[in-house]
Amino acid sequence: MSQRYRIAAILGDGIGREVVPEGLRCLRAAAEAHGFELDVVEHDFACADHWLRHGAMLPPDWKDVLGGFDAIFFGAVGWPEVVPDHVSLWGSLLQFRRGFDQYVNLRPVRLLRGVRSPLRDHGPGDIDFRVVRENTEGEYSNVGGRIFEGTDRETVLQETVLTRIGVDRVLRYAFDLAAGRPRKHLTWATKSNGISIAMPYWDERAAAMAKQYPDVVADKDHIDILAAKFVLRPGQYDVVVASNLFGDILSDLGPACAGTIGIAPSANINPDRTWPSLFEPVHGSAPDIAGRGIANPVGQIWSGAMMLEHLGEPAAAAAVLAAIERVLADRPEVLTPDLGGPGTTEGLGTAIAAEIAWAG
Ligand code: ATP
Ligand code: MG
């Protein structure tokens, strides 16, 4: 009996509806070529249409509906004409992150063949690292408030919350990741010279974790110089781990250094595997180009490769990435307009799927 995986597909809004089908096309080609089965169930919530019909982004029993799947394959959410952005985000993705304890946000930063980096003097192979962002606490705590409102003493406070469990679990994930990579190098982002209570604690926990991983070369960089070095010397990084806010910034900056965010993938991971993890492109629903069949599906397809790796199909994951790279480098006629080509979403997805099927 071949291995069978249950996947919940959520298309969402805008170009999510166009790129998810191409992601699934490539995943099916990989399953066929590598001898496993995918059971895909599409769900029509977490989109503006559901909000219009039901006054909520998700059905009340969403956790039961999704909780039994092996993974969630997500497009993009957001249709600001109909639902305010914070409502669609807090009502869907952030519910999943919290409800399924997806405490790691993982983004590969890798310069592929056929993609030009906006950085001078960088070619394929020069940039290949991973950003690990803490996804559940830290600076995005929602703890704080305003006092003396409307007076000239008006004061606003917002707290950073770090817990030992929350910090250690994301550090452990990052150190494990680094230990499994050839260079075994980890950098933690900090700002302990400015944020004088929270960040020294983060440093302390990271240094303690480093002692448990003697094979991993661990060092720290302050967030300001780290951002500068992403641009000046991106090749020196291997695994970069950061708190929620710093990780949020780095995980957009990194993919931008490796080309366009239209091709970048991301994963929201529950490493303990008590709940499904979620795989989605970095880009949003892009209302400006939605419905025209020209969205780049590569971010979605690459997210599918990350999902295969998480499910335990690393050969299939590598095959998908290799197919993406070959098509980007060798088939300029199928590239979408954002990559400077004349192609369509479906044309590019089909070309990558065919390449996966052909190469196995
Ligand atoms: P969000 O807030 O939902 O994360 P955003 O509104 O900041 O997203 P996107 O929806 O990602 O940004 O889109 C930004 C712009 O980048 C879009 O208007 C679109 O022109 C372009 N873009 C984004 N994704 C793609 C893609 N897959 N293919 C082509 N162009 C894209
Ligand atoms: Mg948006």
CATH number, domain of 65, equals 3.40.718.10
Nearest CA to 189 out of 269, 251, 119 is that of 251
Judge if 133 and 253 occupy the same domain. yes
pLDDT at 115: 85
Is 119 a member of any domain?
no
pLDDT at 226: 97
pLDDT > 90? residue 114? no
pLDDT at 125: 74
Give the mean pLDDT of 105-122. Answer: 87
Judge if 273 and 226 occupy the same domain. no
Judge if 290 and 244 occupy the same domain. no
Nearest CA to 113 out of 128, 101, 99 is that of 128
pLDDT at 254: 93
Distance CA 198, CA 355 (A): 48
Nearest CA to ligand 1 atom 21: 286
Distance CA 183, CA 235 (A): 12
Is 120 a member of any domain?
no
Judge if 250 and 272 occupy the same domain. no
Do 357 and 32 form a contact (C-beta atoms < 8 A)? yes
Computed on alpha carbons and rounded to an integer, the radius of gyration of the chain in Å comes to 21
Residue 151 burial (CB < 10 Å; 0-12/13-18/19+)? exposed
Instruction: For 40-74, write each residue's pLDDT tens digit.
Output: 999 999 999 999 999 999 999 999 999 999 999 99
Pocket lining: 290 vs ligand 1, CB cutoff 6 Å: no
pLDDT at 261: 75
Pocket lining: 285 vs ligand 1, CB cutoff 6 Å: yes
Out of 235, 257, 279, pick the residue that ends a domain: 257
Is 19 a member of any domain?
yes
Judge if 217 and 244 occupy the same domain. yes
Work out how many domains the chain is built from and give that number. Answer: 2
Q: Which domain holds residue 60?
A: 1-107+264-360
Judge if 253 and 348 occupy the same domain. no
Judge if 251 and 138 occupy the same domain. yes
pLDDT > 80? residue 122? no
Do 348 and 328 form a contact (C-beta atoms < 8 A)? no
ipTM score of the complex?
0.93
pLDDT at 129: 95
Do 259 and 116 form a contact (C-beta atoms < 8 A)? yes
Is 341 a member of any domain?
yes
Ligand 2 midpoint to CA 78 (Å) = 6
Judge if 288 and 326 occupy the same domain. yes
Out of 257, 273, 293, pick the residue that ends a domain: 257
Is 186 a member of any domain?
yes
Is 24 a member of any domain?
yes
Out of 189, 223, 257, pick the residue that ends a domain: 257
Ligand 1 midpoint to CA 345 (Å) = 14
Nearest CA to 161 out of 208, 198, 188 is that of 198
Is 122 a member of any domain?
no
Distance CA 210, CA 351 (A): 44
Pocket lining: 276 vs ligand 1, CB cutoff 6 Å: no
Judge if 139 and 246 occupy the same domain. yes
Ligand 1 midpoint to CA 101 (Å) = 26
Ligand 1 midpoint to CA 335 (Å) = 17
pLDDT band at 118 (very low <50, low <70, confident <90, very high): confident
Would you call 158 helix, strand, or coil by DSSP? strand
Do 327 and 3 form a contact (C-beta atoms < 8 A)? no
Considering every ligand atom shown, identify the ligand nearest to the alpha carbon of residue 19 and give its number: 1
Which of 283, 289, 300, 303 for mutating ligand 1's site (highest number of atoms within 8 Å of CB)?
283
What pTM, to 2 d.p., does this model score?
Answer: 0.94
Pocket lining: 286 vs ligand 1, CB cutoff 6 Å: yes
pLDDT band at 145 (very low <50, low <70, confident <90, very high): very high
Judge if 248 and 144 occupy the same domain. yes
Is 308 a member of any domain?
yes
Pocket lining: 338 vs ligand 1, CB cutoff 6 Å: yes
Judge if 283 and 239 occupy the same domain. no
Judge if 230 and 164 occupy the same domain. yes
Ligand 1 midpoint to CA 164 (Å) = 36
Portion of the chain with pLDDT greater than 90, in percent: 88
Pocket lining: 16 vs ligand 1, CB cutoff 6 Å: no
Ligand 2 midpoint to CA 85 (Å) = 7
Pocket lining: 78 vs ligand 1, CB cutoff 6 Å: yes
Residue 194 neighbours by CB under 8 Å, 6+ apart? none
